[in-house]
Structure 1
Amino acid sequence: MVKRLLMVGLLVVCMASIASAVTVGKVTLPDSITIAGENLVLNGAGIREKRVVLVNVDIYAAGLYLKSKTTDAQAIIDADESMALKIQIISSLISSERFVEAAVVGFEEATGGNTASIQKEIDMFLSVFAEEIKPDDVFDIQYVKGVGTKVYKNGKAEPEVVVAGMPIKKALFGIWLAPRTEKAMQNLGKDLLGIAGK
């Protein structure tokens, strides 16, 4: 009887952990996280793909966490409230240099080319990616109202950097949510908004 109860208990725990996570490709993302004492829910998740010799290669998985779900990209970009992006590297094709290059293009497109006023903040953010990037590296980009954008790497307790200001926050989340010229980023943006295929 005790053995049966233990088995049932173990099954319930396993089912609960499965229910509280979302799998994107081969990456499992939690369906909610807590930052600065606030619970955030997974708004959407997707894979950043790269076309390599006629084949789509999975580069990284990303999940967007908000206080409440929405499909309004501009509202998310403009909101002065806690939110987060979780990025897990999948492919060895993404190097530090390539990630930074892609982020620079993203900042340019998200701001309409008006990066001069936040260049110092952009440089602070990009400094996190100066070290070698490897498959399974996880970056947590968390905006906390009144504090700024914190970037954590591989679950460390302390952030690699804290970048203050709404302009950099808006540009940063705009990399994934603002209109982009590259189809792969357009698709990922839809996934993060939970509107893929709509």
Structure 2
Amino acid sequence: MLLRQNVLASIASGDVTLAFRRWTKPTVKAGGRLRTAIGVLAIDAVDEIEQGAIIDSDAHKAGFADLGDLLKELAARPEGRCYRIAFHRIGDDPRIALRQAADLDREGRAEIGRKLARFDHSAGLAWTGPVLRLIAARDGTTAAELSAAIGMEKLKLKALIRKLKELGLTESLEVGYRLSGRGRAYLDGE
């Protein structure tokens, strides 16, 4: 579930606690978690709702000036059913602390190496080392540049790079990627 950039600060402050979406199938579920730019959200409830049952105070809790603005946004996507999603912020994205954990001992480095080897094996291509080195060479290296350099379709590569982010080795920039402190420490120890 994507959240508008201009609403994220209000989510962080606790002023926005709802979202409304029109989906053919919900993309989040109650009890789940969602990572965002302002931290991790706990999904408290996902309920199908009749659009006519939404009230003005719901629109405010979803970050809209009024009910009319919310209804306009829902009308932009007429397919699917209307859902009310309740959530709250539960903390920072754990990948941030992991990216900063650059003190890798021998076992930590070996564990990362094993995971990267599994990623390569699973993809049928040794992509992790080349991608990490290309990103290390220049902050802001884009997925298009990386995919051209290693001969992999861009969307497939972007999905794979998310695995590097999960290990705390890379981070996304406004445009492109860069190595984290942990990623640099790993490469320096190779």
Q: TM-score, normalised by structure 1?
A: 0.24
Between structure 1 and structure 2, the one with the greater Rg is 2
Q: TM-score, normalised by structure 2?
A: 0.25
